[in-house]
Amino acid sequence: MNEAAILAARRELKEISKDEIADALERIIAGPEKKNAVVSEEKKRLVAYHEAGHALVGALMPEYDPVAKISIIPRGQAGGLTFFAPSEERLESGLYSRSYLENQMAVALGGRVAEEVIFGHNNVTTGASNDFMQVSRVARQMVERLVFSKKIGQVAIGGGGGNPFLGQQMSSQKDYSMATADIVDAEVRELVEKAYTRATEIITTHIDILHKLAQLLIEKETEKETVDGEEFMSLFIDGKAELYIS
Amino acid sequence: MNEAAILAARRELKEISKDEIADALERIIAGPEKKNAVVSEEKKRLVAYHEAGHALVGALMPEYDPVAKISIIPRGQAGGLTFFAPSEERLESGLYSRSYLENQMAVALGGRVAEEVIFGHNNVTTGASNDFMQVSRVARQMVERLVFSKKIGQVAIGGGGGNPFLGQQMSSQKDYSMATADIVDAEVRELVEKAYTRATEIITTHIDILHKLAQLLIEKETEKETVDGEEFMSLFIDGKAELYIS
Amino acid sequence: MNEAAILAARRELKEISKDEIADALERIIAGPEKKNAVVSEEKKRLVAYHEAGHALVGALMPEYDPVAKISIIPRGQAGGLTFFAPSEERLESGLYSRSYLENQMAVALGGRVAEEVIFGHNNVTTGASNDFMQVSRVARQMVERLVFSKKIGQVAIGGGGGNPFLGQQMSSQKDYSMATADIVDAEVRELVEKAYTRATEIITTHIDILHKLAQLLIEKETEKETVDGEEFMSLFIDGKAELYIS
Amino acid sequence: MNEAAILAARRELKEISKDEIADALERIIAGPEKKNAVVSEEKKRLVAYHEAGHALVGALMPEYDPVAKISIIPRGQAGGLTFFAPSEERLESGLYSRSYLENQMAVALGGRVAEEVIFGHNNVTTGASNDFMQVSRVARQMVERLVFSKKIGQVAIGGGGGNPFLGQQMSSQKDYSMATADIVDAEVRELVEKAYTRATEIITTHIDILHKLAQLLIEKETEKETVDGEEFMSLFIDGKAELYIS
Amino acid sequence: MNEAAILAARRELKEISKDEIADALERIIAGPEKKNAVVSEEKKRLVAYHEAGHALVGALMPEYDPVAKISIIPRGQAGGLTFFAPSEERLESGLYSRSYLENQMAVALGGRVAEEVIFGHNNVTTGASNDFMQVSRVARQMVERLVFSKKIGQVAIGGGGGNPFLGQQMSSQKDYSMATADIVDAEVRELVEKAYTRATEIITTHIDILHKLAQLLIEKETEKETVDGEEFMSLFIDGKAELYIS
Amino acid sequence: MNEAAILAARRELKEISKDEIADALERIIAGPEKKNAVVSEEKKRLVAYHEAGHALVGALMPEYDPVAKISIIPRGQAGGLTFFAPSEERLESGLYSRSYLENQMAVALGGRVAEEVIFGHNNVTTGASNDFMQVSRVARQMVERLVFSKKIGQVAIGGGGGNPFLGQQMSSQKDYSMATADIVDAEVRELVEKAYTRATEIITTHIDILHKLAQLLIEKETEKETVDGEEFMSLFIDGKAELYIS
C-alpha cells in the first residue's frame, strides 16, 4: 500500500464513500480482477486458506485494522487479496506504534502459517514470497531505523540528511561493524519468529473459523464474488470467537 | 523454461494441441535440432546416460511432471534434452510447493548422478555445469526468498519494493551479516546434498531401466529420432518399476 | 538546522529582531504551518508529549540553548516542533563542546523517552525516527571525527584534504579495520545510551511539568496557537523546578 | 586455445589437412615466429627445458592429447610453445572429464617443474606466470562451477541465467560466505598441488627423455626448426618409456 | 601548507624577504583576516589557549621549525592560526625524518591538549577536528607508506606506478588482509597516543608560559594584532624555559 | 625502469654505445639533472649514504646487474640515483629468476638500511618511500602471480585471459578468501624482511666502503659530477672486498 496512494485517497475522503476508496485502492494495488482466468481446484483451496490466514490473524489481533474484503479472484500477479481498512485516525497520524508493526508482521505471516497448518510442511508454496519480503523489511526497519530493539540500543543505524554541526553528509550505506550486523540479524530473526509464533497460535486456536472462511471464499469464487467485512464478521459471531477489533 | 514462454504457451492452450506446444517450447529453449552434427560414440553414450538420468529421476519422483520427450540429438549448446510437461494445473497456479522444488533439484542432478554411477568418479564431465547452476539457484532462492529453511527462520533475506510505513526502498543487495551468510551457505548445501542423495538412490535402484533407456536413446539417435513419453513409460511397464506419476 | 541558514541569519542579526529570525528559520526548516490539517486526538496527545519531552530535557540540561517555541501544529512532514534559540555567542563561535553535544543528544532523545514513559513500551511510535538519525550522526561524528572517545584514542578516523608531506589525498571512505569498527560501534552505542539514561532521569523526575506542558500544547492547538519561551518558563516557576538555563 | 578458433578449425576439418590447421592455430595463438630474434644460450636452455617439461608430462598422462609440435623459437610474448592436438572426438564433444582437466593442469605445470628439477629452487623464472594463471582458472572452475569438489558439495557457486520459478536473475558476483570462500581456496590449492606432484613424479622418473628433448630443441633452434610429434615420439621409443597416448 | 605553495615561495626566496613570504603563505592558506568579526570572550579564550598549545609544543620540540606568528584573529574557517617557518634547508630537501613527523604530530595535538588541560574533559571542543585529521593522515602514512612501523615490517602497503618486470599496475586500493588492517590500526593508534602524551607533558610542565601566551594573544587581539616569533621567544626568556630550537 | 624504454633501447643497441643508452634511459627515467639546485649539506650527506647503500648492496649480490652510475645531483623528484646496467642477455630473455628478484628487493632496501645504520632509527627519512613501494610490489607479485611462495602453493591468485573450456573470463579482482589473504600478507612480509636482513648484513660488513663511496659522491657533487661504474669498482679493489659481479 503505497503512501502516495493513501494520501491521494485521504484528500478525497469527504466526497466519496469508503467503499469507493477501497475499490480504487484495490485496483491501484492489485490490478483489475481477472474474472475469466481458469483456476484449478487445487490452487483455489490453497489461495483460499492463504488469504483466510491473513484475515483471521488480522481480525484477532488487538487494535489492528478491520478486514474490508477478502478475495481469491486473481488480480495481476496476486492469486488472492485480503484488504484491511486502516482507520481515518491511523491514516491521519502517519505514526505507527511498536505493537501495530508487530501485529502487521503476524498478519503478513498468517498466509504461510495457514498453508503449513492445513497442507503440511512439504506443501507450503512460493505464494508467501512477497509476504516474507514485507515482513523482513518491516522487521529490519524496526531494528535499524526505528530503534525498537533493545540489543542494538538507542542507535539508529544508517543515516541520511545533514549534520547540524559539521555540515557533512553521511552516506546512506550501512556503516556498522560486522559484530553489529550479527546482532541486527539476530534481532530481526527474533522479531519475525515471535510474529510467526503468534500467528500460529491464533490460527490453530481458531481453525474452525479458518475452515469456514476458506470454504466461503471457494463458494463465492464460483460466482466471481468476494467476501466483505460484514460477511467475515458474521463468521466470528457464529463461531463465538472473542474479537479484538479496534 | 522461461516464464514468459510458459505464459505465451498458456494463452494458446485451447487452440493448439499439447504436442505442438511442446515442440514450440523445445525450439525456443534449445534451438533447432542439429541433425547433421557428427557425434562420437563416446559422447553419444555419455549424453544418453546423462539424459536418461534426468528422465529416470523425474519419472520416479512423486507428483513430478511427466516426461514428454528425451533426445540426444544436439540442439544449440546442449548435447541432449529431457523435456517434462508440467500439468495445465501447475502452469495455471504459478505456485510451487517445497516438495516440488526439492524434486526438481533431484531431477536436475540426475544427469551427473548417472554419469558418476556409469562412468565413475574420474570420468564425470563438464556437461552437468548448467544443471548445477539451476540447482544452486533454486536452493538459494528456497533459503533466501521462499523461507523454506528452518535455520534461517521466517526472515526473507534481501528485499525489494517499497516500505509501506517509511516510504523507503531497501537495496536489493544482500544485507545480511557474515554469520547469516554462513548459515545460508550451509542450508543451501544441505538442500542440494539431500537432492543428490535421493537422485543417487533412485538411479542405483532402477539401474536396469537406466541402461535400457540409454540404449534406446542411442538406437533412436542413429535414425535421428527421439524417445517420447509413451515409449519411455513402456520401459517402466516392462521393468515393473513402481511408478509415481502425478 | 542547516548551517547556511544559521550564517544567513547571523549576518542580519543587527537589523531584525530575534523573533523574526526564529520565524524565518522555522519556515525554512519545517515548512509553513498546516492549520487546516485534521489531527486525531490520539495523535495530538502523542505529539504533545513527544515535543514536551524535547523541551523539558532541553530546559533542564546545564548550559543548553533556551526553548524559543513549542508547537504541535503539523508543518510539512513534522507532526510538531520544538525550537531552541542558540545564543549569539554560540552561533558566533562555531565551536561546540563535548558536553554541549552530549546535551544535544539527550534533548533529541527526549521525545521518544516521553512516549515510553507516558504510553508504555509497546506504544512508542515511528515518530522518533528522525531524532534517532540525528543522534546517531552526532554520536558517530564524536567518535570518528572529533575524537571525543577514549577507547578509539586520539585518532581521527576517515580523512580528507591533502597531506602536507606527500601531496597525496586519502579517500574519504572508512579505512579502519574490522576490530576498530567494532570499537567505534560500541563507543557510539555507549554515548547514545548515556544520553538516553539522562533524558529518562530528567523526564521521570519532572513528570508533573511534562503533563502540564503537554496539556498546554493540546489546549493551544485547539486555537491553532503555540507555546513560546516565556509561557514555557512560567510552567517551571509554577512547578518550582531548579532551572539551569545558560 | 580459444574455443571460437577451435570451432572455426572444426568446420574446415574435412577440407584441409591436420597440419595446416595446427599451423593456423599456432599463428593465431602465439603470433608469427620471430626467427631473427637473438636469444642467449642461457635463455635457450631455460626455455628448452620448460617446453620439454610440458611435452613430457603431456605425453605420459593417460588419455591426454598427443603432442603435435614443440618449439623454442620466440613467438610474440612467448619464449617457446608446446602444441597439443586434441582428437576430433574431443573437439566434437565439447565435454571434458574430471581426469582430463586434472591432466591438463599437470601438463601446464610441467614447465615450472622442469625448471625446478634442472635449475634448482632459486633459479625458477617468471616464465611460468601464464601457466599458473591457466591452472588457477581451471582449478577454480572445477570447484566453483563444475562441482568436481567433494568438500563444497553439489552446489555450483556463482550463478547466471534466469530462475524458472521466480523470473529473477542472480548476479554473477560471488555470493558465498567467507567460510565457503575458505573451503573453495583450500580445494583449489589441493587440486593444484596434486597436479604439481604428479608432474614432478613424471619428470623425475623420465629425466633422461627430458634431457634428450631439451637437447634436440636447442639443436633444432640453431637452424630455426622445431620438433614435431613424430620426432618427439621417437625419443620415447629410444628411451623405452611406457607411453599412454589416447 | 600546500606543497605547491611552498615551492612557489621557494622560487622567490632570493627576491622577497621572509616576512613577505610568510604573509603570502598565510593568506593563501587561511584566507584574509576578518578584522571586523565579532568574537565572544569565551571563544577568544578558547582559541587563545588552543593556538598557544600548538606554539608551545612546537617551540619545545627538539629540531622542530621555529614559530613565526600566532594569531587569534579569525581567518576563513579558522578561528586562529599558528604559523611555523620551516628552515630553507628543510624546504630544499623535501625529506622528513621519523622524528620530525613525530614532532609534527605532537604539535598538531597541542591545541586539543591545551583545551583539555585548561577547560577540562567536558569542555574540549570541535575546534581540534582538523588537527586530528592531519595527525591521523600523517600517522597512517608513516605506517602504510613510509614503513616507519616495526610491526608491519618493511612492507609498504598499497601501491602505485608500474612493475618493472611484469608491466602490470597494481591498484591503489588497500590490498592487505584483515589481520594486517588490525595491526595497521593498532600502530597508528600507538603513534598518535605517543604524540598526545608528549604534548601533554610539555604543556603541563610549561603551563605558566601557556597562560602568558594566551593572555598576550587576547590582549593583542583587542587591537587586531598578532604575536610574532620574537615576541613569542621573549616569553620563554622571561620564563627561563629550556629551549630547543633547531 | 619502464619496459617500453628498455625495448626501445634494445632495438638501437647495435648502433649506439652502451654509455649513450644509459644516458638516454637516465633522462627518461629521472628527468634532466638540476645542476643549479641548492642542496643543503645535511641533505647531501643523507642522499649520498642512501645511494651508496643501493650501490653497495647491488655490487655485493651474486649475479646482480653491475652498477653503471651513482649520482646525488637532484633530478626531477629524485634526490639522487643509482643506475644498474642489466646485461644484454637479461634484457633479451625477459625472464627473471627467483634469486634475481630477491636480490633486487635487497638492493632497493639498501638505501633505507644505509640511512638507519648511519643516522639512526629516529633519523631515517621519507626518501625511501618509492623504494618500499617497488619492493612491496615485487614481493606481492612473487607471491600472487609468480607462485614463488610455498605456503600459498602452486596457485596463481587473480586471473586474466580466457578459460579454454568454458569460454568465461574471470575478473582481475582478488578473488581469494580472507584466510588466503592473511597467508599472502605473511608471505610478502617474510620475503621483504629476508631482503632487509640481507641488505643490513652487507652494509654493516662493508661499512668502510659505504663511507668512502658516500664521501666520493659528496666531493663529486661539488663539481656537479657523478661516480661511474669504474670509479665505483676501484673503491672495492682498494677495500679488498670480495666481489660477486655477474
Residue E100 identity: Y
Range of the domain at F191: 31-239
- Confidence label for A240 from pLDDT (cuts 50, 70 and 90): low
Identity of the residue in D2, D122, D193 whose CB atom sits nearest the CB atom of F97: D122
| pLDDT tens-digit series, residues A115-154 | 999 999 999 999 888 899 889 889 988 888 887 766 666 5
Residue E195's pLDDT is 94
Least trusted range by pLDDT, from E24-33, E93-102, E139-148 = E24-33
Question: Residue range C15-44: average pLDDT?
Answer: 64
H or E segment and range at residue D202: helix D178-205
DSSP string, B119-157: H-GGG-BGGGHHHHHHHHHHHHHHHHTS---TTT-S---
Comparing B37 with B4, the larger pLDDT belongs to B37
The grid cell for A137 is 523489511
Q: Please tell me the number of Cα atoms within 13 Å of B208 on its side-chain side.
A: 7
Q: Which residues of B are catalytic?
A: 51
> Given A26, A51, A187, A221, which residue is catalytic?
A51
| Count of residues making up chain D | 246
Spatial separation of the C-alpha atoms in residues F71 and F62, rounded to whole Å: 23
CB contact under 8 A, B38 and D92: yes
Chain F: give the shortest CA distance to residue C152, in Å: 24
Write out the three cell numbers for F28: 627518461
Q: Which residues pair with B81 in a beta bridge?
A: B71
d(CA E68, CA E82): 8
D70, D221 Cβ separation under 8 angstroms? no
Cell of D130: 601464464
Burial of F224 (0-12, 13-18, 19+ CB in 10 A): exposed
Q: Return the higher-pLDDT residue of A31 and C184.
A: C184
The SS3 of residue C47 is helix
Please indicate, yes or no, if residue C5 is contained in any of the structural domains. no
What is the DSSP code string of F42-78? HHHHHHHHHHHHHHHHHHHSTTPPPEEEEE-S-BTTB
**CA-based angle F183:F184:F188, to the nearest 5?**
115
The burial of A164, by beta-carbon neighbours within 10 Å (0-12 exposed, 13-18 middle, 19 or more buried), is given as: middle
Q: Contact at 8 Å (CB) between D93 and D45? A: no
Residue A89 grid cell = 485516525
Residue with the larger pLDDT of the pair C104 and F42: C104
Interval C208-234 mean pLDDT: 93
- The residue among A57, A43, A16, A21 whose CA lies nearest residue A232 is A57
Q: Which amino acid is at A198?
A: R
Kindly report each contact of residues F217-222 with a partner whose C-beta sits within 8 Å and lies 24 or more positions away, as own/partner: F217/F48, F217/F51, F217/F52, F217/F70, F217/F71, F217/F72, F217/F80, F218/F44, F218/F45, F218/F48, F218/F72, F220/F72, F221/F39, F221/F44, F221/F48, F221/F72, F221/F73
Dist. CA F28–CA F56, nearest whole Å? 24
Cα–Cα distance for residue pair B229/B245, rounded to 1 Å: 12
With a pLDDT cut of 70, the percent of chain C lying above it is 68
Residues in A touching C36 (Cβ below 8 Å):
none
> Could you read off the pLDDT of B114-152 as tens digits, one per residue?
999 999 999 999 988 889 988 988 998 888 888 776 666
Closest to B83 measured CA to CA, from B72, B97, B98, B95 = B72
Q: How far apart are CA D121 and CA D161, in angstroms?
A: 45
Residues C163, E3: contact at Cβ < 8 Å?
Answer: no
pLDDT tens-digit series, residues E107-146: 999 999 999 999 999 999 998 888 998 898 899 888 888 8
The total number of structural domains in chain A stands at: 1
Question: How many whole angstroms separate alpha carbon B245 and alpha carbon C122?
Answer: 52
> Residue E210 is which amino acid?
L
- E14: Cβ contacts below 8 Å, ≥ 6 apart: none
Given a contact cutoff of 8 angstroms between Cβ atoms, the answer to whether F146 and F95 are in contact is no
DSSP label at D122?
A: G
Contact F112, F51 (CB under 8 A): no
**Angle between helical axes of C178-205 and C98-119 (0-180°, round to 10):** 60
| Closest residue on chain C to B165 (Cα) | C126
Q: What pLDDT sits at residue F7?
A: 43
Alpha-carbon distance of F102 to F107, in angstroms, equals 9
SS3 F148: coil
Helix ranges, chain E (H): 3-11, 18-30, 41-60, 88-93, 98-119, 129-144, 178-205, 207-222, 229-239
Average pLDDT over residues F189-194: 92
- The SS3 of residue B64 is strand
pLDDT bin (cut points 50, 70, 90) of residue E1 is very low
Decide if F51 is catalytic: yes
Q: How far is E165 from chain C (nearest CA, A)?
A: 26
The whole-chain average pLDDT of chain E stands at 78
Q: Do A92 and C125 touch (CB under 8 A)?
A: no
Write the DSSP assignment of A134-148 as a string of letters: HHHHHHHHHHHTS--
Q: Are E221 and E45 in contact (CB under 8 A)?
A: no
- The answer to whether the CB of B73 falls within 8 A of the CB of B113 is no
Mean pLDDT of C76-93: 79
Residue C104 confidence (pLDDT): 95
CA distances from C48 to A88, C53, C199 (A): 20, 8, 17
Residues of E in contact with F122 (CB under 8 A): 97-99, 102
Element (H, E) at C133: helix C129-144
Q: Which residues does E contribute to its contact with D (CB < 8 Å)?
A: 165-166
Q: Is the pLDDT of residue D245 over 90?
A: no
Type and span of the H or E element at F144: helix F129-144
- The answer to whether residues C128 and C163 touch, using CB atoms and an 8 Å cutoff, is no
Task: Tell me whether residue E228 is in a domain.
Answer: yes
- The pLDDT value recorded for residue A146 is 81
DSSP string, D53-105: HHHHHHHHSTTPPPEEEEE-S-BTTBS-EEEE---HHHHHH---BHHHHHHHH
- Calculate ∠ Cα F150-F154-F156, nearest 5°: 115
Tell me the CATH number at C116. 1.20.58.760
- Pairing verdict, β E81-84 and E227-228: unpaired
**Of the candidate ranges C109-113, D75-79, D211-215, E100-104, the one whose mean pLDDT is the lowest:** D75-79
Contact A70, A83 (CB under 8 A): yes
Chains C and D physically touch (3 or more Cβ atom pairs below 8 Å): no
Distance CA B237, CA B229 (A): 13
Indicate whether E210 pLDDT > 60: yes
Q: Which of A166-175, A223-232, E46-55 has the lowest mean pLDDT?
A: A166-175
Does F185 contact E177 at a Cβ distance shorter than 8 Å? yes
pLDDT interval class at A227 (50, 70, 90): very high
Name the residue facing E137 among C93, C94, C163 (closest C-beta): C163
Contacts of E178 in chain F (CB under 8 A): 178, 181-182
Sequence-ordered alpha helix ranges (H) in E12-121: 18-30, 41-60, 88-93, 98-119
Instruction: With residue C143 as reference, give the H or E element that holds it.
Output: helix C129-144
pLDDT reading at A55 higher than 80: yes
Contact residues on chain E for A165, CB-CB shorter than 8 A: 126
Beta-bridged to residue F228, according to DSSP, are F69
In a domain, C82, yes or no: yes
Count other C-beta atoms under 10 Å from residue F132's C-beta: 22
Q: What's the gap in Å between the CA of F191 and the closest CA on chain E?
A: 9
Model confidence band, residue E16 (pLDDT cutoffs 50, 70, 90) = very low
Taking the C-alpha atoms of residue A213 and residue A51, their distance in angstroms, rounded to an integer, is 9
Within 10 angstroms of residue A109's Cβ, the number of other Cβ atoms is: 29
Is E174 a domain residue? yes
C-alpha cell recorded at residue C203: 523526564
Report the pLDDT value the prediction gives residue F74, as an integer from 0 to 100: 85
User: What confidence score (pLDDT) does residue F179 get?
Assistant: 86
The answer to whether residue C161 scores a pLDDT higher than 60 is: no
Interatomic CA distance for residues A69 and A71, integer angstroms: 7
Q: Which amino acid is at C108?
A: A
Q: Is the pLDDT of residue E239 over 60?
A: no
Catalytic residues of C: 51
Among B207-216, D157-166, F37-46, F200-209, the least confident range = D157-166
